[in-house]
A and B are shown apart, each in its own frame.
Chain A
């Protein structure tokens, strides 16, 4: 420790900011692929607009298909971002600063992806503004008894608050970045750092504002996926009409979100050489959180299956027997394998500390959580009360292309983010370093 404190802090700035300067060849290939698939998806959507919703595979009784599955999936992915930032800030968990920036970015991009699907699913997407309350000559307002209307408020609130929280956390870091870059790029860093200086009153209000926003964001995390689960639970469809849905959905959302953090951060850490700032200990802590939420999800599966079998409601019972042994049984069993069996490996300490294992497990969980939404949405609708209205749903090529495009869209934004904004919260890393050295 011969160097001065300010020089050691300078090194942290350089280490985190330097990878933003020169993208490698692999970066451009990845970005190009993402843009390509986004364009393909846009093409598929234009085809659907011209032909009508019949171009998608949604028809009676499977009126909700891939689009709604994707909506629920992406809203779920969005959850761990705010969870990691806000809840761990409130609990002062020290592994937060390694992940919070990229997890929050993930939240923003996942909500941006999720928000597209109700629009794509709508028959007349150009009238999507009807969802919002605004005074009209016809004096028609949205139906505030509808869970779908609650969704509009929940998801748009979630997007706004996450964006504010993300941006707020970024301001001192942008003020660091403005030192390193000139020209147009430097101008934008100066502009968006708002003239941040780091005076004591600024820090005082800043720390307080972060705490309040975290305190708001925490109940928001719980409410958003609860509201999304109301879309199902408030209806009377067997398999949907269950009181367990809100906590089940929230736990599932955090579970899938943590998995997506692994999927994104493990390669990012390697490419950006951030081993010093995102350590194996950090990953292990997040793996424990993943395991914990995974066990909650497994518990919810058990409850969901046993209660109808034990109860007197024949429709519910039939629905769950159909899930396990009916037309879509492979989806159900694959879901249980991915979400309940594979994560159990995280009970072993050496596995939690092995990044390759974590990466593979995270891919399984991502697939499993997507399948969970498939199981809930499609199987329930395929097998409702009257046998004459039973039917199977198969996705069309348009839906598949748009689904692939949504992943490309999400990764495209994330790739752009890694080059534009410091991927680790620099000032928080420095704050921790200063605090540790002071001990």
Chain B
């Protein structure tokens, strides 16, 4: 596949070029941007605000699973001795408050692990190809445009300027 690459030393130049490309009608889907640090202006140009990350669903499902597991595990194990029930310290067999501690901790545990797994899945990590040969531009700001040649992009930009 054809690919055009722009490499910048300065953030401002990089942002200007990115804006220019998007304004010229290149779809943000065809633009791949690599930066040394998260740059919030890019989010505005490409519409990739962190709010839109699907990672929240992983977190939510993990946390709910943890909470339910916490109560299910404690309740099930304390009820597993039916006849006679195993009463400890004269307390009720199922205690909502003491079991809440376990449910609370497991909410955080499962939620945290799910968030981490979600991050790995969504951002395509670990990538064996990139572990073997990392794609590394150091501290430079990079724009790659898929499916276009240099001439095509230049003519696009020129058409935009004339219009």
- Give the B-binding residues of A (Cβ under 8 A): 4-7, 9-10, 13, 133, 139, 141-145, 149-150, 153-154, 156-157, 160-161, 164-165, 168, 171, 175, 178-179, 190-191, 193-209, 211-213, 216-217, 219-220, 223, 227, 230, 427, 430-431, 434, 438
Contacts and interface: CB of A to CB of B under 8 A. Distances in A.
B123 to A, nearest CB: 4
Interface string B110-123: 01110110111011
A211 B52 CA distance: 13
Interface core residue of B36, B50, B134, B137 (most chain A CB under 10 Å)? B36
- Pick the 4 closest A-B CB pairs, nearest first: A195-B130, A195-B127, A141-B77, A9-B139
B96 to A, nearest CB: 11
- Looking at chain A's contact residues, the main secondary structure is helix
Given A145-B95, A205-B55, A4 B36 contact: no
A116 to B, nearest CB: 20
Interface residues of B, number: 71
B105 interface: yes
B134 A209 contact: no
Nearest to B103: A153
Given A190-B134, A430-B36, 5 more contacts: A143-B88, A199-B33, A199-B123, A208-B53, A209-B119
Contacts, number: 199
B17 to A, nearest CB: 14
A201 B125 contact: no
Contacts of A139: 80-81
Contacts of B63: 216
A198 B119 contact: no
9 contacts: A139-B80, A175-B134, A178-B134, A202-B123, A205-B55, A207-B53, A223-B108, A427-B37, A434-B37
Contact of A13 (B80, B109, B139): B139
Interface string B85-101: 00011010001001101
Contacts of A205: 50, 53, 55, 118-119, 122-123
B38 A212 contact: no
Interface string B44-76: 001011111101100100010000000001100
B118 A9 contact: no
B113 A160 contact: yes
B43 interface: yes
A197 B130 contact: yes
A164 B42 CA distance: 27
Contacts of B135: 197
A183 to B, nearest CB: 15
Contacts of B80: 139, 141
B88 A145 contact: yes
A201 B48 contact: yes
Contact of B38 (A4, A142, A195, A206): A206
A156 to B, nearest CB: 8
Contacts of B21: none
A431 to B, nearest CB: 4
A28 B74 CA distance: 49
Contact of A223 (B48, B105, B118, B124): B105
A155 to B, nearest CB: 9
B78 interface: yes
A207 B108 contact: no
B146 interface: no
A209 B55 contact: yes
A139 B39 CA distance: 55
Given A194-B125, A198-B35, A201-B123, A161 B134 contact: no
